[in-house]
Amino acid sequence: MRRTFLAAFAVASMVTVPAQAQRQAPAEQKPYQAVAVTLPAVFADAGFETFRAELAAVAKGRVYAELARLVASHGFFWDRDFSGRFERRKPAVDNLAAALRLEHGSGAGWQALATFATEPTAEPMPARPGIVCAPAKPAYDAIAFDRLMDATLTKDAEWRYPRAEATPVYAGSASSRAAIDRLGQHFVRVLAPLAVENRAGTTWLQVATPLGRLGFAEPGALVALTADRLCYGKDTVGRWQINGFVGGGD
């Protein structure tokens, strides 16, 4: 009996030790060459700022009828609808709700809407005159970025750029911990972004800095080139409204 127990213990030890070792993430990765970004300018329009404040209040209150009042009743579009959920016969607000997954989980779609309301940048959509989409994209050297992805064997979905000029990277996913590095205005690699970032951007992201250090960036601190975009236009009397949605991802 004792021999059987010892044999079982030895087998268990052989199984659990490698599993524990596998769960321990490396402290560093191979450094990479930082590619600079120039952050987009704030979209200077007083009416747009007023509209975003109204959108923020609606997102906080989570009243569907109030949201419907801010969405264009005709001509709403949903570009990059990979799941094919856009239905032209449905009211525009219903399609927006589907795009944002408004009521999924604990209301992550409402949080995503609140995040859009805080976004001060927007840029024209060339294919749709009179429409602007947010967030606006930064300026950067596309050739240098392609070389960076080739050197690191990555795709653009694995990279983000900071919203601020200086962004701290923490040892753990809590701002009370000490910062181990600080990001400037350049691309930063995000590890397994599809696994750790929710739609509203309210999770901490694990990143690898250009120096190869691993840490975490605060929720909302980083933006993806392939992020979802909310699009706006003016109605016949010049009031801003939500006119469409552009899905993110590759």
| Overall number of domains in the chain | 2
Residue 7 has pLDDT above 60, yes or no: no
In a domain, 62, yes or no: yes
In a domain, 21, yes or no: no
Q: What is the pLDDT of residue 196?
A: 43
φ/ψ of 59, rounded to 5, equals -65, -35
Pair 27, 125: CB distance under 8 Å: no
73 and 110, same domain (yes or no): yes
118 and 191, same domain (yes or no): no
pLDDT grade, residue 250 (50/70/90)?
Answer: low
Measure the CA–CA gap between 232 and 36, rounded to whole angstroms: 29
With both helix axes pointing from N to C terminus, report the angle between 108-117 and 92-100 in degrees, rounded to the nearest 10.
Answer: 100
103 and 217, same domain (yes or no): no
By the 10 Å C-beta count (0-12 exposed, 13-18 middle, 19+ buried), 81 is classed as middle
**Tokens, residue 97:** 């709700």
Q: Say which CATH number the domain at 197 has.
A: 2.30.30.40
DSSP per-residue codes, 110-144 = HHHHHHHHT--B-EE-TTSTT-EEESPPPEE-HHH
Residue 181 has pLDDT above 70, yes or no: yes
Residue 217's domain comprises 138-224
Q: Say which CATH number the domain at 53 has.
A: 3.10.450
- Strands 132-134 and 123-124 come out as antiparallel
58 and 87, same domain (yes or no): yes
93-108 per-position pLDDT tens digit: 999 999 999 877 777 8
Of the listed ranges 26-30, 77-81, 101-105, 132-136, the least confidently predicted one is: 26-30
97 and 151, same domain (yes or no): no
10-41 per-position pLDDT tens digit: 333 333 333 333 334 455 689 999 999 999 99
